[in-house]
Structure 1
Amino acid sequence: MSDWKATLKLVEYLDKDGAIDAKGIKKLTDSVGEAKELAQRLGCDELKPFATSAVRSAVNANEVLEHIERETGVRLEILSGADEARLTFLAVRRWYGWSAGRITNLDIGGGSLEMTTGVNEEPDVAVSLDLGAARLTHNWFDIDPPERKTVNLLRDYIDAELVEPAKEMRAHGQARLAVGTSKTFRTLARLTGAAPSSAGIHITRELTAPGLRQLIAFISRMTAADRAELEGVSANRSHQIVAGALVAEAAMRALNIERLEICPWALREGVIFRRIERGLDLQS
């Protein structure tokens, strides 16, 4: 088994017209090529390459995909926001099982926020919003640390974006279990006292609304460099953790969630489960 990752932060390469610029295309192409070479060295029989929010929202998405295919021979499949949410929910359901009852899941990526709720493997509601931590940081914060006025304006913007999706999700009733997936939620939980990753994946980790509010008041006044010194915050994510925390707090508040558990499985595991079970396209 091998686990390899490369941090791309593609939303930071979106130009004023919403296109991924040349540097971003090169960075993505190089990473896809490196992943392909690694898979070949490991004797991988099949690749399941897919792209999410940053490519999905780019106005030159087709151009990007064609360039990558010419250079690497790999054709990325763009997951829709709803499919990204569904596949993540599938992984969460498999982790907790049927006895968990209704689950509401929140996932904060670099480009988008996915929200789902359901009692089966297929959620009743699957929503994707352009409220990713890197995207909001790129679009809203031009001073480090961000000005308090800007933080408040961003909070109001997030609240407004969540009104209708949260209403739709609440209509299905309160979840028995609220869950958070993604590196952003793991980092926030760690900063509020959850066990470190070295403790293993089977340790229960949680994030509470009061703890998150206190954390935001603390980290929003710090520079990215200072945040990177906090235990559990990686240097390449320290600049976007404030925006991620604001999204998490707003989503929890909109859905009346006071506590959520951190699930170690997310989109990647959902893709694997779907492929194993159906052997079909990810959207099937």
Structure 2
Amino acid sequence: MRLAVLDIGSNSAQLQVVDASSGAPPLPAHAVKEPTLLAEELLPDGTLSATGIDRVAGAVGRAVDAAVRLGVDHLYPFVTAAVRDAANRDAVIDRVEAEAGVRPQFLSGEDEAGLTYFAARRWYGWSAGRLLLVDIGGGSMELALGRDVEPELAVSLPVGAGRMTRELLTEDPPPPRQLKAVRKRARETLSEVLDRLRWEGGPRRVVVTSKTFKQLARLAGAPPQRKGPFARRELKLADLRKQLTKLAAVPAAERARFRGVSRSRARQIVAGAVVAEATLTALDVTSVEVCPWALREGILLRHLEDVADTAALPLQPLARRPSATVRRLPTAHGATEPGPSTVESAGTPEERASGREDG
């Protein structure tokens, strides 16, 4: 069975295709990435601009075309905070459906945190003990803590790298006062959940996911993704602080030439680093491990578990190919309904397990 997840985020629409079977890990067979670049398209009234809507609809259309071309049987399209939190999100979803033939769903921030935690728990296994997960996306940061399959705590905070860049880092490079403003916002937002985290008890292992953390770890000397998922990737707080100083001192165009920093994220990586530093400091964490699995793997793993344990969920026909289907997202609490492509080869089994996010 060929499954695919289409993650429609602030930087890109990413299609991850896997040949899945119950009990097997979700190893990507193909990956397609289409730019959305929505961070600068959010207007003062909270709506996505017409240009942003055109861009995301086109990106999803091309990704769906790729899914059809690659013989995908079941497709899970969903949007994250950039579209989910837009004041005109229903209009955005309607436009995507009209152009691409699929209607993306949106997950709550808490569901994103829970599914990302679910993937990390599967990766590390029961021996990891109590696990604390941190994920910094474009619009939000997710935290999840637990020792079982489902987290005891899963929260989403509005301090994503793209959001903080747009709202607080208006100059390039940003002056110290703007960096201070991001740090203050992150600390104040984190203060809302720190007492709960302390109440739940300290974690045995702290892990991070997201492109933000992967790029920061790579900057600090972690192995590149081509080394495969089993290469240990660690980010120390002391190294993070050193890299933050270097990143903040130069404009985005120069950051894009740094090891591991992609051009599309060069502007927001500074805000991501500030939020990461503030978070680890507040949590009294001096070192974290980068987990190769995150939200997309969590969705696929949840699906495979549901197929093994229960009857299949109702299917929706994929408009562009009758034999393909679109299914509801399998989440811990049930999904909430809102109402030229580059196709990468499969690579080695180790590269497929890592999702091929090279840096």
* TM-score for the superposition, normalised by structure 1: 0.97
Q: Percent sequence identity over matched residues?
A: 45
Does residue 186 of the first structure (1) align with residue 214 of the second (2)? yes
- Aligned with residue 173 of structure 1, among 197, 201, 207: 201
Structure 1 residue 6 displacement after superposition: 2.0
Q: Which residue is equivalent to 1:42? A: 70
**More strand, by proportion:** 2
How far apart in 2 are the matches of 1:242 and 1:166? 23
State the match for 1:266 in structure 2.
294
1:108-151 residue CA offsets vs partner (Å, 9 max, x unmatched):
11111001110011111101011111111111122110011111
What amino acid does structure 2 have at the position aligned with 1:16? P
Per-residue deviation, residues 57-100 of structure 1 (Å, max 9, x unmatched): 11111111111112222101011000000000010001000110
AA in 1 matched with 2:124:
Y
- Determine whether 1:218 maps to 2:246: yes
Of 208, 213, 221, 2:236 maps to 208
User: Is residue 2:342 matched to residue 1:282?
Assistant: no
Query: Which structure ranks higher in relative contact order (CA pairs < 8 Å, sequence separation ≥ 6)?
Result: 2
Which is worse superposed, 147-156 or 5-14? 5-14
* Cα separation, 2, equivalents of 1:167 and 1:9: 35
For 1:52 and 1:236, the matched residues in 2 are separated by 17
1:227 corresponding residue in structure 2: 255
* TM-score, with length taken from structure 2: 0.77
Give the secondary-structure state (helix, strand or coil) at the position aligned to 1:2: strand
Q: Report what 1:26 is aligned to.
A: 54
Q: Which runs of 5+ in 1 are unaligned?
A: none
Structure 2 CA distance for aligned equivalents of residues 148 and 75 of structure 1:
43
Q: RMSD in angstroms over aligned alpha carbons?
A: 1.1
Q: Measure, in 2, the Cα distance between the counterparts of 1:76 and 1:220.
A: 36
Shift >3 Å, 4+ stretches: none
Deviations 1:25-67 (A, max 9, x none): 1111111111111111111111100011011111111111111
Partner of 2:323: none
Q: Does 1:127 align with 2:175?
A: no
Mapped to 2, the partners of 1:257 and 1:84 lie a distance apart of 23
Q: Partner of 1:171: helix, strand, or coil?
A: helix
Q: How many corresponding residue pairs?
A: 284
Structure with the higher helix share, 1 or 2: 1
1:178-210 deviation line (CA, Å, top 9, x unaligned): 001011101111111111122221100111111
Structure 2 Cα separation of the partners of residues 88 and 65 of structure 1: 23
TM-superposed CA distance for 1:3, in Å, is 0.8
User: Does the 8 Å CA contact 1:216/1:242 hold for their aligned counterparts?
Assistant: yes
Aligned equivalents of 1:7 and 1:274: distance in 2? 27
Q: Could you tell me how far apart the structure 1 residues matched to 2:199 and 2:122 are?
A: 24
Is residue 275–residue 282 contact of structure 1 (8 Å, CA) maintained in 2?
yes
Is 1:115 aligned to residue 143 of structure 2? yes
SS in structure 2 at match of 1:71: helix
Distance in 2, Cα, partners of 1:282 & 1:82: 14
User: Deviation digits for residues 129-178 of structure 1, max 9, x if unmatched?
Assistant: 11111111111122110011111122111110110112212211111110
- Distance in 2, matches of 1:238 and 1:282, equals 33
Report what 1:157 is aligned to. 185
Residue in 2 that maps onto 1:88: 116
Aligned residue type for 1:63: A
Q: Give the SS at the match of 2:59.
A: helix
- Retained in 1: the 8 A contact 2:131–2:146? yes
Whole-angstrom distance in 1 between the partners of 2:214 and 2:288: 11
Cα pair 2:34 2:62 within 8 Å, conserved: no
Aligned equivalent of 1:148: 176
Is the partner of 2:31 in helix, strand or coil? coil
